[in-house]
Amino acid sequence: MEKELKMKDYPKKIRDRVKEIACGTYNKNFGLMYQFDWEESCEGADFWVEINDGNFDVFYEMYPKEENEKVLKEINRLNDDEYLQFDALDDIEVNEPEIVSDSIVDSVIESFKERSNVGIKKYGVTLDRDDLSFLEWINHLQTELQDAILYAEKLKSAKSMYYSFDMATIKSIEVNNNQLIITTK
């Protein structure tokens, strides 16, 4: 039996399409069959079975290697007058949306980076590791979720401490040296 390909072994265009469909669950270290429900995709299960079996030609028939191939064929088909009309599109100015920073998202991203660095220092590996089986990853996930449930239960049991404040009287909330500091007005 042939060894199953991991996503990192597939051509980039196929990986990119799988990332689009997987909506955040994509993992380059897992095989194609673990990325998403093939039946749910617009390509259908038969298409992905072919890809999984190594028939990448099926993919490139649906998604040509040359992304502009259709546009180039259309330009070649146009007569001179139509081409001039098409050429006028070059004068259209496209306003790119302004990129706005979100302090909450930035804070979460920074905490992920910090947590990753702690894990790398503690365990000497990254999540790109491929020495764990699918089941071992599931076991890690279960352990982390069990911890999260325990933390939630702890917070629920301490709710009287947090609910004793009238939110209108709180001036600021800070965390300093792992201590919650609430300043009232």
- Length of the chain as a residue count: 185
Q: How far is CA 57 from CA 54, 63, 71, in A?
A: 9, 10, 21
Q: Which is nearest to 60 in space by CA: 49, 71, 72, 47?
A: 47
Q: Walk along the chain (185 residues) and give the pLDDT tens digit of each residue.
A: 356 777 778 888 888 888 888 776 767 777 777 777 788 888 888 888 888 888 888 888 887 765 555 555 555 555 554 544 545 555 556 666 777 788 888 888 888 888 888 888 988 888 888 898 899 999 989 998 998 888 888 877 776 555 565 666 777 777 777 777 778 87
- Note the pLDDT of residue 90: 55
**pLDDT at position 142:** 92
Domain boundaries, the chain: 1-90
Give me the pLDDT at residue 146, please: 92
Q: How far apart are CA 79 and CA 82, in angstroms?
A: 5
- Predicted pLDDT at 100: 79
Q: Which pLDDT value is given to residue 1? A: 39
**pTM score of the predicted model:** 0.35
The per-residue pLDDT for 103 is 84
How far is residue 32 CA from its own chain's centroid?
A: 16
